[in-house]
Structures are given as structure tokens and as C-alpha cells.
Amino acid sequence: MNATLIAVAASATHSMSKPALDRITLLAGLGVAGDAHAGLTVKHRSRVAIDPSAPNLRQIHLIHAELHDELARAGFTLAPGQMGENITTRGVNLLGLAAGALLYIGEKAVVEITGLRNPCTQLDRVQPGLLAATIERGPQGRLIRKAGIMGIVITGGEVRPGDAIRVTQPPPPHKPLERV
């Protein structure tokens, strides 16, 4: 299956859900134009409370449409952007990427993957039980966070549904994704 951008979303407010749009503009070093989480330093309220000068490793949030499919089978009805993601993909094993992987999206945008999104209780405000549905335990009780990944914009550009995505992993040894 070809890796494809399925949907894009952005919101100027710190609301959980973001409206789907026909395109978004990625800004190098900042994130998504017009999105509340864009900037050089942290914008997520919980992170700002800890250290407002920390670098923003969460400029852009990506979720794989395959997660939406899995959640639909569990009885959830979700639209792209509803879990706060800016980009919804299909055909990319986002959770299997290494830290530092690059996603080439559309004609020129490049996103560097920084880590996992840490699911929070706000998901239960979208639909009760959604938080629990995005976390599971793996072998040896290891916590698996499935609510998407975070990245920073290396090269800006306009992206839209239907754009192709090409992935390059960093040179080995690969560092697994951790929450950021």
C-alpha cells in the first residue's frame, strides 16, 4: 500500500478537536500555520507550565488512519482531527518509526519524528473510554501508546489530502519512540 496523507486539520485555539481542512501550510521550525501548537518553544499547556522556554518537539501531531479503523471496530466513531491530530496518514506504520525518521509529504514538506504523543484524559471528553482504547500493555507489561506521534517541521510547504508520503529512517542503531 502506498503511504498517503488522508486528512489535515488545524485549530487556532487549544481545543482538543481540530476541524478538517482542505490544506494546511507547514512552517519550517514552527509547525502548522495558524495552529495553537505552532512555535519554537512548547505550546502544549501542560508543558508550558513546566518550562515555557523548552523547545517545541510537538509542532505537529500525526495519527494513522489504521488507528481510527481499530477504534471503529471497538465502537468509537471518530473523524480526522477529532483526537487533535494535524495529519492523518494511511499506509505508514507511524508507531514503528524510529526517533529522527523523516516524512517527506507532498511536493516539498519534511517532518522529523520526535516521539510519541502521550494520550491524556482529554480523549475521554471526545468519547468516553477513548483514553483506555489508545493505551495497551505489551510484552512484559510495557505501556504502548497508540494515539499518534509528534514531530517538528524541517522543510515547510503546503500539504493536502491525497499527497504521497515517503519515509526514511535514520541510520542505525534506531532509537525507539518515547513520549515527548
How does pLDDT run across 98-123, given as a tens digit for each residue? 999 999 999 999 999 999 999 999 99
Q: Measure the CA–CA gap between 157 and 24, rounded to whole angstroms.
A: 8
pLDDT digits (tens, 9 = 90+) for 161-171: 999 999 999 99
Q: Is residue 178 part of a domain?
A: no
The per-residue pLDDT of the chain, averaged, comes to: 96
Say what the pTM is. Answer: 0.95
Cell numbers representing residue 50 in the block: 513546566
Q: Is residue 16 part of a domain?
A: yes
* Total structural domains within the chain: 1
- The CATH number of residue 117's host domain is 2.40.33.20
Structural domain boundaries, residue 26: 4-168
pLDDT digits (tens, 9 = 90+) for 42-78: 998 888 889 999 999 999 999 999 999 999 999 999 9
Q: Is residue 70 part of a domain?
A: yes
Q: Is residue 119 part of a domain?
A: yes
What per-residue string of b and e applies to 79-88 under the rule 16 or more CB within 10 Å gives b? Answer: ebbbbbbbbb
Q: Measure the CA–CA gap between 116 and 58, rounded to whole angstroms.
A: 9
